[in-house]
Structure 1
Amino acid sequence: MPTLVAVLAAGRGARFTGPGHKLTATLGDRPVVVHAVQSAVASGIGAVIVVTGAEPAVASALHAAGLDVTFHSNVRADEGQATSLQVAVEAARQAGADRLVVGLGDQPFVTPAAWRAVAATDGAIVMASYSNRKGHPVSLRKDVWELLPSTGDEGARTVTRIRPDLIVAVPCAGSIADIDTTEDLTTWQSSWSTSSPSTGRSTKRGL
């Protein structure tokens, strides 16, 4: 049965004070969300969906990049990341998938290799590990979907906290750094042209 890949990109980005939405802010030569989704597509794992919210510019940026993805709208995005995860789970069920591999639209430094490594590893919950810090992508086997929360900002973290015995960590190159604020964008923008970031700090509460 197939594996479905999902990038969650429905958040409001309230901490970002720059013009526009944080996911459509330019990092290097393209929007933040395009970096994130391009890695998921380039991994070649399987079909990629993007869960979007009320910001139409996010889908527009991905359309403009010509990425082969399917959009799923989350009308409850304001209720937290868990609602976007539930949209992805329902899409996986409809696709007949037995595994869902999830990433975040504001994490542009996750590599295609990280996506592939997580997807190729067997386990109920498989998480990328960056210098011993667990993060996305996260692979969720079908039998744990019912354990996922339906509301709130924790996403899969609820399950990983109460069932750490289910987690398999996979060492990956890249970074779990996310773009939450204009300061984050400025910091990474300054280093983008000179190096490929390999370490970073995650402020995301999802995992």
Structure 2
Amino acid sequence: MVVLGAGRGSRYLGPRHKLAEPLGSHSILSHTVRNAIATGLPVVVVTTPAFADEAAGLVAKRDVVVLGHGTGPAPGGMGDSIAAGVAARSGAAGWLMLPADMPMVQPLTLLAVAGALSHHAVAYAQLRGQRGHPVGFGAELFSELMRLSGEEGARRLVARYPAHPVDVEDPGVLQDMDTEADLASLRARWHQRSNLAAG
């Protein structure tokens, strides 16, 4: 699994980078990585120097791929991040792409999409007909994933190959965090879920 956390987060105008924003007792990045780790699948975190230490506190240092220089943005865009994550686990049977700003995606959802890759080249989580994350790619797409660059990401591959929807009852697959309003919504849902768990 590749946690994609090297983006600029330029749409978010809060006081800090969006991945550093707290959600309960941990940061957005930390929650997303912890959910990935909870699956038991190998996890690679692609990030910038600003988050390298935090990521290395959650996974082995060898599983942290750092892009960019200083505290600046990663070179290129999502495509470069995906290619870097795939390169770090080139011998894998497939790869799940999980944006680091999606801390509510549940481990069982991640496992369900990963399981679909044994029969499909591309699979993605779907909630009531709406396409969400993660998106998974089988090993046969290694060469094409490695050629990705820039901001396009993997949309071209998802469009080119039959993509299998994995139906889940997990609203987290649709909830990313690009704006301050997104963060407020995320925190509201987080507190609601925490209260239900405590009750």
TM-score computed with the length of structure 1 as normaliser: 0.81
Higher relative helix content = 2
- Cα distance in 2 for residues equivalent to 1:156 and 1:41: 23
State the identity %. Answer: 33
Question: Is 1:25 the equivalent of 2:21?
Answer: yes
What pairs up with 1:10-89 in 2 under 5 angstroms? 10-45=6-41, 47-54=42-49, 56=50, 58-63=51-56, 66-69=57-60, 70-75=63-68, 77-89=74-86
C-alpha contact (below 8 Å) 2:52/2:66 kept by paired residues: no
Letter in 2 for 1:43: T
Question: Is 1:102 the equivalent of 2:69?
Answer: no
Letter in 2 for 1:150: L
C-alpha contact (below 8 Å) 1:92/1:99 kept by paired residues: no
- What RMSD in Å do the two structures reach over aligned CA positions? 1.9
Structure 1 position 146, deviation (Å): 2.3
Structure 2 residue runs without a partner (length 5+): 195-199
Letter in 2 for 1:182: E
C-alpha contact (below 8 Å) 2:148/2:154 kept by paired residues: no
Query: What are the Cα deviations for residues 91-149 of structure 1, in whole angstroms up to 9, with x where unaligned?
Result: 121xx222112211001111000111111122111111122222221221121122335
- Cα distance in 2 for residues equivalent to 1:191 and 1:150: 34
Given the superposition, is the C-alpha separation of residues 184 and 124 from structure 1 closer, same or farther in structure 2, using an over 3 Å criterion? same
Aligned residue-pair number:
183
Match of 1:170 in 2: 166
- Cα distance in 1 for residues equivalent to 2:79 and 2:95: 14
- Cα distance in 2 for residues equivalent to 1:131 and 1:146: 32
Given the superposition, is the C-alpha separation of residues 157 and 110 from structure 1 closer, same or farther in structure 2, using an over 3 Å criterion? same
Match of 1:205 in 2: none
- Cα distance in 2 for residues equivalent to 1:188 and 1:126: 25
- Cα distance in 2 for residues equivalent to 1:186 and 1:129: 23
TM-score computed with the length of structure 2 as normaliser: 0.84
- Cα distance in 2 for residues equivalent to 1:10 and 1:42: 21
Query: What are the Cα deviations for residues 43-81 of structure 1, in whole angstroms up to 9, with x where unaligned?
Result: 112x21100124x1x233334xx4234201123824110
Residue 190 of structure 1, aligned match among 176, 184, 188: 188
C-alpha contact (below 8 Å) 1:9/1:53 kept by paired residues: yes
C-alpha contact (below 8 Å) 1:31/1:61 kept by paired residues: no
Structure 1 residue runs without a partner (length 5+): 197-207
